[in-house]
Structure 1
């Protein structure tokens, strides 16, 4: 259990309350600092997977905890941007993203119980959705449109990527559902 990849994954879970606290601090750069903590946590997701493969330290605990850590920090970030922006234009894609995560997690669990987890394993669309979602959340959390007078358009890019992630989210959910449909409709 105490492998380097698992410790990094546990660090990502521990960063959630830090991320939320920093984001809501009452100082000028709190949102940007919170976005940085979120970015750091997102990077650890790639890093722990890389190290698990490189060091041959994959474990059942890591396979369980890694997606849980991802979903927890993304759920926190989605709730935070929904609260911060308080607009239907953020709320709708946030709900789509959260609904997909719950649906696909339940589908994977059900398929795993029936020995068919390979049918709904992570796909390229799912990975592309995760990348777009993480970048969107960093942009929206940061609230940066300008930095030292230079246009960055992070928030604008965040909106675009959030919608792209929502589109990929629905697409991947449908793809997984179609792949699993035969197994879901069989009589017990």
Structure 2
């Protein structure tokens, strides 16, 4: 639905895509909150939730790369998408070793997610206006998200480093 709306020739297309992305983020947060609070977590939910989150962010960034069509936008978007792939692979590998908790979500990861969601919503919403303070604020948020992305990746890799470098006897 998000991608279809993005390409629809609607007058308020930017608003609708930002709204769908926002609703997806809010419902994702509520789902996680209530699942934890009510003890309704399942292995399937634990698997699908991060996959869905990363997919939605990657799709939104890929679509926005097309809109903004500039290296200074593509660079942080590729950093964010690339990190998500690396950390997903790392978590899967660590889970196989029985050490998934050593690469659990950190506070920096939560800050990164907040910054990237704010940036994506703003960049979706204000696609047409690139010469104002809102565009600049959202680009700053995107770069903050990319820096936090790198920082959190270093934290995860550092935590997993002993297992990554251990020889397989």
Band of TM-score, shorter chain? over 0.9
Q: Of the candidates 38, 46, 52, which is equivalent to residue 21 of structure 2?
A: 38
Q: Greater RCO between the two (CA within 8 Å, min separation 6)?
A: 2
Q: How far apart, in 1, do the equivalents of 2:9 and 2:135 lie?
A: 21
Q: How far apart, in 2, do the equivalents of 1:71 and 1:154 lie?
A: 25
Contact in 1 for aligned 2:67/2:127 (Cα 8 Å): no
Is structure 2 residue 106 aligned with structure 1 residue 123?
yes
Contact in 2 for aligned 1:78/1:94 (Cα 8 Å): yes
Q: Of the candidates 55, 78, 82, which is equivalent to residue 65 of structure 2?
A: 82
Deviation, 1:153, is 3.9
Identify the residue that residue 186 of structure 1 maps to in structure 2. Answer: 166
Q: Of the candidates 154, 157, 160, which is equivalent to residue 137 of structure 2?
A: 157
Following TM superposition, the consecutive aligned residue runs of length 4 or more in structure 1 with deviations greater than 6 angstroms are: none
Is structure 2 residue 46 aligned with structure 1 residue 66?
no
Identify the residue that residue 177 of structure 1 maps to in structure 2. Answer: 157
Q: How far apart, in 2, do the equivalents of 1:108 and 1:156 lie?
A: 34
Question: Can you give the 5+ residue segments of structure 2 that lack an aligned partner in the other structure?
Answer: none
- CA RMSD between the two structures: 1.4
What TM-score comes out, normalization by structure 2 length?
Answer: 0.94
What TM-score comes out, normalization by structure 1 length?
Answer: 0.85
Deviation, 1:144, is 6.2
Aligned length: 166
Question: Can you give the 5+ residue segments of structure 1 that lack an aligned partner in the other structure?
Answer: 1-17, 147-151
Deviations 1:132-175 (A, max 9, x none): 001100000111688xxxxx843222101100000000001011
